[in-house]
Amino acid sequence: MNNKIIKRNIVDQIIKYINTDNIIVLHGARQVGKTYIIYYLQNFLKSKNELNYFIDLEDGRMVEVLDDGIDSFLLFFKNQGFNLEKIKNQNKKLFVFIDEIQYLSNPSSLLKLLIDHHKYIQLIVSGSSSFNIKSKFSDSLVGRTVDFEIFNLSFNEFLKFKNINYNLSNALTDFHLHKIIKLYKEYIFFGGYPKIVLEDSIEKKERYIQQIIDTYIKKDIRDLANIKNIKKFNNLLRTLAEQSGQLLNISTIANACSLAKQTVEDYLFILENTYIIKLISPFSSSAKVEVVKTPKIFFFDTGLLQMLWLKNTQQNLIGNIFETSIFTELTKKYGSANINFWRNRNQNEIDFILSYKNKILPIEVKINFNSFKTSSMSSFCNKYKVKQYKVVGLNGKKQNKNYIYPWEL
């Protein structure tokens, strides 16, 4: 295993807000690397001779200190040897990192007092549930936070963690192209959790993924949602995994899992807000023509998806798993709010519609470029007067500039 702290792509965006009056909030699933981003930022601040301190709220003693309020918080730092008055009078800052902020009973009160009356302290906090954070962050913090979503590794970061330094923006030789395609397949098969990427043993990779499922999904989400029937919830997870990349019919799933429709909707809300799945809506400019109500479901990690669905990672590409990997790449680069799919009443479908910088780009996903048929794409482009489109694939021959590999998105 490689213990080196590797710089994530999002770090440069976060650093822009260091030394401002904002509370920096990092959201993301467990094990995607939020804590290591904090460690990287700590090292960055140390290189600038800036004062910083790390608080891990997995330690219940620290939860008690912070839950006691502002006076307890300030006293703790004085006892750690920080001269807060001197820091304030010298116009310096103390950067405080708080990991797993959702464990606090009422973080809003503490954070508001700090940002309003102790501006010499800047907070960088992380949490594993946007639902928990949003429910505990009151309106009093509106305008005082800047939020960053932390996902598992993108393919570009995957290569960095594997210590493979190719410039993917340049044309690749056939030898290097073959190698990159093989690496992308590995990325699909095992997903992008940093610990999994850094592990070489397939047996250990699968065991670690299963541990994430057992410890962080089934347990944490079960507790968060106050789930009584664990067997039905686990069955729901498996059923959802089977449908990644497909239209989601909540009534059908509810019947299949012997759950009430409202219960399924509640569980989906929790799963979305703990960064396990994402529902994306259809692209539409006319409710009369498009099918506008049924969303598509995607998992955020293809390794986790396969372990839930198939009980092990695969050696052959499956279409909806490849499509899921493209969704995750688009999300990390453009944000899930800018991603839709298209399907009309004539059953014409396009996998993704990317809305970005006032432009729309239809994207079709095919494992083999040769499988692409133009009918649905032509229908969409003619309807919306779109000239450009992309076909994302791995195998076969690229026909023209519209055909791209996943890393060219």
Backbone angles phi, psi at 8, to 5 degrees: -85, 155
Among 268, 279, 282, residue whose Cα is nearest residue 237: 268
Give the whole-angstrom CA distance, residue 172 versus residue 178.
9
What pLDDT does residue 284 have?
79
What is the pTM (predicted TM-score) of this model? 0.90
Residue 21 or 221, more confident: 21
* DSSP string for 77-110: HHHTT--HHHHHHTT--EEEEEE-GGGSS-HHHH
73 Cα distance to chain centroid: 31
Say yes or no to pLDDT of 289 above 60. Answer: no
What pLDDT does residue 215 have?
82
Q: Give me the chain's average pLDDT, please.
A: 90
Using an 8 Å Cβ cutoff, are 130 and 156 in contact? Answer: no
What is the CATH number assigned to the segment(s) 11-149?
3.40.50.300
Using an 8 Å Cβ cutoff, are 187 and 155 in contact? Answer: yes
In the sheet that holds 296-299, the strands lie side by side as 246-247, 296-299, 277-280
Span 364-393, average pLDDT: 95
Q: For residue range 321-349, what is the model confidence (pLDDT) as tens digits?
A: 999 999 999 999 999 999 999 998 888 99
The upper half-sphere exposure of residue 167, i.e. CA atoms within 13 Å in the direction of its Cβ, equals 3
Domain with CATH 3.40.50.300 in the chain: 11-149
Q: Which amino acid is at 261?
A: K
Q: Quick one: 171 exposed, middle or buried, by C-beta within 10 A (0-12, 13-18, 19+)?
A: exposed
Give the whole-angstrom CA distance, residue 63 versus residue 34.
19
Using an 8 Å Cβ cutoff, are 32 and 275 in contact? Answer: yes
